Amino acid sequence: MKKALVCGAGGFIGGHLVNRLKSEGYWVRGVDLKQNEFGNNQADEFIIGDLTLLNVAMNALEGGFDEVYQLAADMGGAGYIFTGFNDASVMHNSALCNLNILEASANAGVGKIFYSSSACMYPEYNQLDPENPKCSEDSAYPAAPDSEYGWEKLFSERLYLAYQRNRGLDVRIARFHNIFGPCGTWQGGKEKAPAAMCRKVAEATDGTFIEVWGDGKQTRSFLYIDDCIDAIRALVKSDFSGPVNIGSEEMISINDFAQMVIDIANKKLTINNITGPQGVRGRNSDNSLIFKKLGWKPSLTLRQGMELTYKWVSKQVAISVTA
Ligand code: NAD
Ligand code: GDD
């Protein structure tokens, strides 16, 4: 039986990944600061621990692993990473997790190690035109991410590649483009636009409005969680190290996205654009490389993924109202 360690298993993507690995017959150990808050975790063993501490990373690696998945990070949506208030902790905590997990993995002689980077590492100068952003993998340099979160991701990508060159690790690096779906953070300040839109629409009554940050003309693409997990598994099974985009090419403006959620909910609401943290003006995944290397492309449309997500978030809203 293959053994996998999932770092960040208490989080959104980590929780889904643990369950996929279990369904594929793996023995799985999870490690995180916290358990998955939605009970969405079938790990065989779960260590509550802080991976900014080297001894916690070393303990997590004990016993030997075929595959390590590194998803632990101090992260959130625009309301968390673009305000400037969390820059020091984001860089400090995430960099230490990566440094410790790599050192412990190299010492333990693991098979493959997967790292979850982000589209936030791409330079801002290629993401100024909302209709025509450029995020191909070869456009990463000259580096100019618009957030410290993005700079840490870029530094850590380089760290993983250095451990591949010098310490014998077999590395896989993905650059995620806004992943969404059930069991993700939907309130509290770290939620991203998909969950935030669902929550706002679910809470609003007909004839009122929802608030959307910025002028709503900024663009993004969003990838449903099951497609993301498929792509992670395809990358790890392949001989390709990356870095490679894992995202959707279905770009949409944020106001159109908000309207999509209003339509899904079948509510009569208007959109009120307000000042808020916005990040880059436009972003879209470029899937040429992942299709060429792995033959992967998303299976769900944005609308299909958002219908599933709205159903889940609106249920959480209803539960929280009655609690
Ligand atoms: P998440 O916040 O739900 O999960 C991250 C997990 O890491 C959390 O459960 C958190 O408790 C854990 N963690 C943080 N610091 C830790 C520490 N010191 N020790 C142990 N655990 C710690 O986020 P997610 O959406 O599941 O993202 C997973 C990974 O993918 C992250 O590295 C993130 O930066 C990256 N990513 C995600 C997206 C996205 O849209 N979700 C996009 C780009 C990149
Ligand atoms: N979160 C949020 N909440 N965003 C909103 C809201 C709201 O209520 N209203 C409008 N937006 C706008 C933001 O201003 C931003 O322009 C856009 O929606 C997308 O915001 P997020 O989903 O929060 O973040 P992001 O796409 O800028 O960055 C996310 O994706 C990256 C990868 O592509 C983050 O999750 C990053 O951590 C991630 O690396």
Helical residues (DSSP H) of 109-218, grouped into ranges: 148-167, 193-203
Which one of the listed residues 26, 69, 122, 149 is annotated catalytic? 149
Number of Cβ within a 10 Å radius of residue 122: 29
CB 103 within 8 A of CB 162: no
86, 128, 178: which to mutate for ligand 2, most atoms within 8 A of CB?
A: 178
Confidence at residue 62, expressed as pLDDT on a 0 to 100 scale: 97
C-beta of 121 in contact with ligand 2 (< 6 A): no
Q: What is the CA radius of gyration of the chain?
A: 19
pLDDT level of residue 151 (50, 70, 90 thresholds): very high
CB 100 within 8 A of CB 108: no
Share of the chain above pLDDT 70, in %: 100
Identity of the amino acid at 298: P
Burial class for 281, CB neighbours closer than 10 Å (0-12, 13-18, 19+)? middle
CA dihedral defined by 21, 24, 25, 31, rounded to 10 degrees? Answer: 0
Confidence at residue 321, expressed as pLDDT on a 0 to 100 scale: 86
ipTM of the prediction = 0.99
pLDDT level of residue 322 (50, 70, 90 thresholds): confident
| pLDDT single digits (tens) 172-228 | 999 999 999 999 999 999 999 999 999 999 999 999 999 999 999 999 999 999 999
Contacts of 33 (CB under 8 A, 6+ apart): 10, 48, 49, 50
Which ligand is the nearest neighbour of the Cα of 217? 2
C-beta of 52 in contact with ligand 1 (< 6 A): yes
C-beta of 149 in contact with ligand 1 (< 6 A): no
φ, ψ for residue 317, nearest 5 deg: -60, -45
Instruction: Decide if pLDDT at 127 tops 80.
Output: yes
In what helix (H) or strand (E) does residue 11 lie, and over which residues does it extend?
none
pLDDT level of residue 94 (50, 70, 90 thresholds): very high
Which ligand is the nearest neighbour of the Cα of 122? 2
Q: Is the peptide bond before 182 cis (omega within 30 degrees of 0)?
A: no
Confidence at residue 152, expressed as pLDDT on a 0 to 100 scale: 98
Domains of the chain: 3-179+223-246 (3.40.50.720), 185-221+251-281+301-322 (3.90.25.10)
When pLDDT is averaged across residues 82-110 and rounded to a whole number, the result is: 97
Residues in the chain: 323
CB 145 within 8 A of CB 121: yes
CB 234 within 8 A of CB 114: no
| Residue labelled with tokens 């002689």 | 109
Angle at 320 between CA 258 and CA 30, to 5 degrees: 90
| pLDDT single digits (tens) 281-308 | 999 999 999 999 999 999 999 999 999 9
Q: Using DSSP, state whether 273 is helix, strand or coil.
A: strand
d(CA 276, CA 103): 39
| pLDDT single digits (tens) 39-90 | 778 999 999 999 999 999 999 999 999 999 999 999 999 999 999 999 999 9
34, 35, 37, 75: which to mutate for ligand 1, most atoms within 8 A of CB?
A: 75
d(CA 186, CA 203): 12
* Residue 287 bridge partners (DSSP): none
Instruction: Decide if pLDDT at 149 tops 80.
Output: yes
Share of the chain above pLDDT 90, in %: 97
Residue 149 falls in the annotated catalytic set: yes
| pLDDT single digits (tens) 258-287 | 999 999 999 999 999 999 999 999 999 999
